[in-house]
Chains A and B, each alone.
Chain A
């Protein structure tokens, strides 16, 4: 079992729709949860982090965390073509180590 698993892609949604990205993790000691976005040929950049159960909203992005289910998700509302990228879920139990999932490639079609 992989430490961090993301829903297999690629994921394609029409412009204006909601994109839903999911991630599960195996380490119950995990404390911090991150979503990074990586455009093709670029480096990952952080778009959301969450460390408490529940929802966290930032503009069109909402991260959801359920530690009991070991599940974290990212919702992108009103998806735009500029959201087309690979989204990486990362999980950390501290001490500087983040473990990444394989990533989900999102395409938003105009």
Chain B
């Protein structure tokens, strides 16, 4: 009974193609995120949605377009893929408010989607 699930887990594609990654959470959280982890393991936030509203939009090329149809789903579409887009993309979710025994903003991560652009 996966809490945060992403699909696909692996994508291998050619430069210039378009690809999408989907994410779903069943934790009842109100906030979802996309993080990018590069080959040096650095995790960088890309986007965040709270109740379907975009609240964080870091400096990311506009080839990346997130979409949240509802608060349990967050998708990421990438146009015109480039070699530098190769990375692991993690979806995560959290509650913005402090819940019992939890810190606000504690992140629950999906398994990651490893994107390789050739």
Contacts and interface: CB of A to CB of B under 8 A. Distances in A.
B103 A43 contact: no
Interface stretch (B16-24, B62-70, B107-115): B107-115
Looking at chain A, what size class is its interface with the partner chain? 20 to 34
Given A92-B104, A100-B43, A43 B50 contact: no
A95 interface: yes
A3 to B, nearest CB: 11
Which secondary structure dominates chain A's binding surface? strand
A17 interface: no
A34 B103 contact: yes
B8 to A, nearest CB: 15
A71 interface: no
B43 A88 contact: yes
A59 to B, nearest CB: 15
A94 B50 CA distance: 13
Contacts of B56: 95-97
A36 B109 CA distance: 11
Contacts of A49: 102-103, 106
Given A43-B111, A43-B112, A103-B42, A96 B105 contact: yes
Contacts of B40: 102
Interface in A38-59: 38, 42-46, 49, 51
Interface of B: 31, 33, 40-45, 48, 50, 55-56, 90, 94, 96, 102-112
8 contacts: A43-B90, A43-B110, A43-B112, A46-B108, A96-B31, A96-B55, A100-B42, A102-B41
Report, nearest first, the 10 A-B pairs whose CB atoms are least far apart.
Answer: A43-B109, A49-B103, A100-B43, A92-B105, A32-B103, A96-B31, A96-B48, A103-B41, A44-B109, A43-B112
Interface of A: 31-32, 34, 36, 38, 42-46, 49, 51, 86, 88, 90, 92, 94-100, 102-103
